[in-house]
């Protein structure tokens, strides 16, 4: 059954979603827009036409292109945030590098930490400084089951996603007094481009499915439902939390 999201009202809010060209980010952006928020889409250079076309016309504020792996790119956000102060920030963009630990190279390690963690810190700090002036806001990081587990051949990714949970709690503590809630979502196995190879591998996909009590892989819509809750006033007393959306995987 398609999820129904009536009842969450984000009218008058501006939301920035990173990595909104595909997958979870695209679906979260559409869900926030359908709940009434005006959206700043972030991409990475690829064509954003599909995401733009899927938003209600009056809800698309602008599309921004920033390469989050560029260590010098943080200042690229300044003009955007000056023009459109953000009420809801979803730090969704992320990359994974698969390589056994004994061979894991330093460069991809640095890239994964830069995109998944340092860029999140830098953008969140800029947005939170603005939010603190306006005494309110919602910041949502997209973590992972590998915020709690080590995975296989993904040392940099697991390290970055574990760190996101710590960052979520640290930010929540420092920002609660300003009326800003900071939470994370840890998606389970969600069908996106990111997991295409995994879901096509008959052995791994069967092993994964066998451990999911819900009996199916997740869909981006499953994550979007949690994001809507954390973006709305329904979660005003929820902060520093990482919400697992995994069909029951972690409890197994």
In the region spanning residues 197 to 236, those forming contacts with ligand NAP, defined by CB under 6 A, are none
Site stretch for ligand NAP (CB under 6 A), options 19-27, 120-128, 204-212, 231-239: 19-27
| Class of residue 40 by CB neighbours under 10 A (exposed 0-12, middle 13-18, buried 19+) | buried
**Quick one: which of 21, 59, 126, 138 contacts ligand NAP (CB under 6 A)?**
21
Q: Give the C-alpha separation, 218 to 100, whole Å.
A: 26
| Minimum CB distance to ligand NAP smaller for 19 or for 225 | 19
State yes or no: residue 137 binds ligand NAP (CB under 6 A).
no
Q: In whole angstroms, how close is the CB of 100 to ligand NAP at the nearest point? A: 20
Q: In whole angstroms, how close is the CB of 177 to ligand NAP at the nearest point? A: 28
| Minimum CB distance to ligand NAP smaller for 147 or for 232 | 147
- Residues that are catalytic: 157
Q: List b or e across 73-104, with b for residues whose CB sees 16 or more CB atoms inside 10 angstroms.
A: ebeebeebbeebebbbbbbbbbbbbeeeeeeb
What is the SS3 assignment for 66-98? CCCCCCCHHHHHHHHHHHCCCCEEEECCCCCCC
Contact (CB, 8 A) for 100 and 153: yes
State yes or no: residue 24 binds ligand NAP (CB under 6 A).
yes
Give strand pairing partners of 137.
180
| Minimum CB distance to ligand NAP smaller for 179 or for 211 | 211
| Class of residue 219 by CB neighbours under 10 A (exposed 0-12, middle 13-18, buried 19+) | middle
Q: Of how many residues is the chain composed?
A: 252
| Minimum CB distance to ligand NAP smaller for 36 or for 97 | 97
- What secondary structure letter does DSSP report for 118? I
| Minimum CB distance to ligand NAP smaller for 25 or for 156 | 25
Closest CA to 20 of 85, 68, 57, 73: 68
State yes or no: residue 92 binds ligand NAP (CB under 6 A).
yes
State yes or no: residue 144 binds ligand NAP (CB under 6 A).
yes
Q: In angstroms, how far is CA 177 from the centroid of its own chain?
A: 24
Q: Give the C-alpha separation, 144 to 165, whole Å.
A: 9
In the region spanning residues 174 to 203, those forming contacts with ligand NAP, defined by CB under 6 A, are 187, 189-190, 192-195
**Quick one: which of 10, 14, 16, 23 contacts ligand NAP (CB under 6 A)?**
23
**Quick one: which of 8, 10, 33, 95 contacts ligand NAP (CB under 6 A)?**
95
Q: Residues interacting with ligand NAP, by CB under 6 A?
A: 19, 21-25, 43-44, 46, 67-69, 92-95, 115, 142, 144, 187, 189-190, 192-195
């Amino acid at each position: 059954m398609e999820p129904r999201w009536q009842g969450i009202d984000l009218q008058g809010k501006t939301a920035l979603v990173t990595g909104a060209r595909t997958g979870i980010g695209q679906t979260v952006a559409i869900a926030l827009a359908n709940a009434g928020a005006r959206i700043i889409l972030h991409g990475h250079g690829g064509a954003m036409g599909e995401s733009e076309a899927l938003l209600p016309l009056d809800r698309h504020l602008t599309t921004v292109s920033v390469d989050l792996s560029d260590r010098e790119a943080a200042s690229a956000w300044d003009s955007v945030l000056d023009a459109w102060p953000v009420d809801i920030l979803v730090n969704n963009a992320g990359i994974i590098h698969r390589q056994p630990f004994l061979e894991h190279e330093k460069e991809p390690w640095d890239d994964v930490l830069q995109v998944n963690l340092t860029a999140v810190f830098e953008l969140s700090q800029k947005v939170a400084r603005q939010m603190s002036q306006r005494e309110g806001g919602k910041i949502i990081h997209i973590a992972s089951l590998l915020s709690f587990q080590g995975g296989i051949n993904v040392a940099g990714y697991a390290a970055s996603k574990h760190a996101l949970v710590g960052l979520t709690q640290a930010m929540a503590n420092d920002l609660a007094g300003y009326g800003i809630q900071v939470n994370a979502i840890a998606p389970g196995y969600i069908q996106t481009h990111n997991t295409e190879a995994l879901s096509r591998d008959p052995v791994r996909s069967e092993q994964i499915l066998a451990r999911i009590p819900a009996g199916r892989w997740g869909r981006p819509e499953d994550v979007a439902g949690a994001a809507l809750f954390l973006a709305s006033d329904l979660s005003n007393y929820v902060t520093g939390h990482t919400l697992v959306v995994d069909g029951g995987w972690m409890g197994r």
